[in-house]
Amino acid sequence: MNKEYLIEIEKYLRSKKLSSSVSAEVFDHFVMQISELMNTGEISFQEAFVQTKLNWQYELEMVKADIFSFRKIARIEKKILQTRFKKIVYSSLLFSVLLGLTVPISEEIFFYSEILVLLSFVVILIYSFIWEKMSFREYQQMSFHPLLLRNIIIAILVFPVVAYFSEVFDFWKPMLNQLIILYSVMVQIQLLYFRAKKINVLLS
């Protein structure tokens, strides 16, 4: 496996826009499979390369990253991304529910916890800007992240219903409204954290 062959494999994988960690892993698999085919099948690099690409065709097929996203990524990347999304959703939901359970005990605890979460979000955001982990334009794009678009849809559906049945039309007073907003902020905090760590969460 000479240098020219390795460069050709790298060029092909770059076209699939894989994250660095996934690309490195797939690259190793490509090199091993191609080398094995060349040695055992006594075929040329190009033949082995074509066969390996066919073997990986399904995993490297470009598909929509999410139902709320127009971006296309490799299927193998989508699987990893969706698993990461689920962890973000579950952890944000669990945190919001647990915090909501403090309301019957003390509304002050809930109120100050909300303030702490919002301050944490602001601190992480400022850190991202100062240390150039994210530009302001990228932050604007984050507003259209699939996870946040889901939150907007939920809010549009839930807020009017809550207001109607509770007969409280003050946006901030219904507890469910506050929990949805809290959940949304927790999602954004995690997205910013992953962005700062250069872990792919579908942010530019």
pLDDT in tens, 20-70: 889 999 999 999 999 999 999 889 999 999 999 999 999 999 999 998 888
Q: What is the pLDDT of residue 132?
A: 84
Q: According to the model, what pLDDT value does residue 172 have?
A: 63
pTM of the model: 0.85
pLDDT band at 204 (very low <50, low <70, confident <90, very high): low
pLDDT above 90 covers a percentage of the chain that reads 64
| 53: Cα separation from own chain's centroid | 27
Q: Taking 90 as the threshold, does the pLDDT of residue 5 lie above it?
A: yes
**pLDDT at residue 93, as a whole number:** 95
The pLDDT tens digits of the residues spanning 132-174 come to: 888 888 888 888 899 999 888 888 888 777 777 777 666 666 7
User: What integer pLDDT is reported at residue 173 of this predicted model?
Assistant: 67
Burial of 161-171, coded b for 16+ CB within 10 Å and e otherwise, reads: ebbeeeeeeee
| Residue 9: per-residue pLDDT | 96
Residue with more model confidence, 182 or 132:
182
pLDDT at 82: 94
